[in-house]
Amino acid sequence: MLPADKHIRKTRQPGEEGETGIVAAAQPMDQREIETLQYYLKEYGQQAEVFAGQLELMENGRMEALAAIEALEALATSEDRTVLLQLGGGTSLRAKVLEPEKVLLNIGSEVILEKTNADAVGYLKDRITEMEASQKKVAEALEKLRVQMNEIAKRLEQGYRQASGAGPVPRGRDSEDNDEE
């Protein structure tokens, strides 16, 4: 995802026997490269916000499904079948459920199915499993994005130091070794 960088050179790292590592060369960055890195950092930050929002939505859906499972299981074992019905605007009613074994389940796209209480609980548990798998994938993508953002931020910091006249940031080897390809 990162742009090709002319300031990256393959060099042998100290302590690596014959292995090739990648380190930033001690060449000054030009203003255009700094601006490009700033752009990528901003874009990645926006993508990270989107992923974080998706994670939050998935977690809310998971918690809602868990609450529904708990309510359905309690209703199945309840003798009086009385529930608190939320009407909205902070108002509720006590209501008796006439048929606790018949559950109307919205499966998406305005499609509603009638299922038994046990089948509805099973469906919700499967949906929770799917949401958790999706959450894991999004969290992994978010972590990769954050790693890339940290790398860009380090490179930007190096560019800022160089631009401010502090000179290149030492990388443990002298500049002659870093020019090898």
pLDDT of residue 31: 84
pLDDT of residue 108: 87
CB 58 within 8 A of CB 137: no
128 or 178: which carries more pLDDT confidence?
A: 128
For 43-61, what is the mean pLDDT?
96
What Rg do the C-alpha atoms of the chain give, in angstroms? 28
3-state SS, residue 88: strand
| pLDDT band at residue 48 using 50, 70 and 90 as cut-offs | very high
Give 169's DSSP letter.
P
| H or E element in which residue 160 lies | helix 117-163
The pTM assigned to this predicted structure is: 0.65
pLDDT of residue 27: 60
Of the CA atoms within 13 Å of residue 172, those in its CB half-sphere come to 10
85 or 13: which carries more pLDDT confidence?
A: 85
Q: Which amino acid is residue 51, in one-letter code?
A: F
Given a cut of 90, whether residue 120 has pLDDT beyond it is yes
pLDDT of residue 163: 76
